[in-house]
Amino acid sequence: MSKLRTVTVTVNGVAYEKAVEPRLLLADFLRQTLGLTGTHVGCEHGVCGACTVLVDGDSMRSCLLFAVQLDGSRIETVEGLGGIGRLNPLQEAFREHHALQCGFCTPGMLMTVTDLISKYPLATDDEIRAGLSGNLCRCTGYEHIVRAVRAAVGRIQEQAP
């Protein structure tokens, strides 16, 4: 075993300080060390997007980062968006528009869209599709996901002051 290193991060608003192996991936840190299994691991080499989380507000592949690289960072995972009985507008739109089947891709989709919505207008379906092009879904054919994102964008704009 290699020498442990201490990593201090904030995940969904909770501060953690953990001793980890330098080779531990962020995805495994979240899932195994912190028990936040909402972040899914599919391809493990940066292709599928299932492991997407927000790091200091930017969406990133947690399978391509080592936990020690994130020392001092603010991380948000799907668990931080909402939960049963308190879905956020994006999650609610996914539920209403049947934007998932097996749900494996969904955490990564939600985190990618959370990042996109915070930065870009996503005014057209083409923009939504381009934004989602790094997240693979083998079930839905994407149409319902695009509908859900369109609905969420509309709802968030309505609620904006």
Q: Please state, in angstroms and rounded to a whole number, the distance separating the CA atoms of residues 97 and 56.
A: 29
Q: How far is CA 60 from the centre of its chain?
A: 8
Sign (positive or negative) of CA dihedral 5, 1, 32, 27: positive
Minimum distance, C-beta of residue 160 to ligand FES, in the bound complex (Å): 29
Minimum distance, C-beta of residue 14 to ligand FES, in the bound complex (Å): 23
- Of the ranges 9-17, 78-86, 134-142, 146-154, which one interacts with ligand FES (CB under 6 A)? 134-142
Virtual torsion, Cα 61, 66, 68, 70, nearest 10 deg: -10
Query: SS3 of 117, please?
Result: helix
Name the residue nearer to ligand FES (CB basis): 94 or 158. 94
- Of the ranges 37-45, 69-77, 86-94, 121-129, which one interacts with ligand FES (CB under 6 A)? 37-45
- In the set 29, 66, 94, 104, which binds ligand FES (CB under 6 A)? 104
- In the set 20, 50, 67, 132, which binds ligand FES (CB under 6 A)? 50
Question: Taking CB under 6 A as the criterion, which residues in 54-73 touch ligand FES?
Answer: 61, 63
- Of the ranges 12-20, 117-125, 132-140, 149-157, which one interacts with ligand FES (CB under 6 A)? 132-140
- What stretch of H or E contains 149? helix 143-159
Residue 37 sits in the site that holds ligand FES (CB under 6 A): no
Asked if residues 59 and 112 have their Cβ atoms less than 8 Å apart, the reply is yes
Virtual torsion, Cα 17, 23, 29, 31, nearest 10 deg: -160
Residue 96 sits in the site that holds ligand FES (CB under 6 A): no
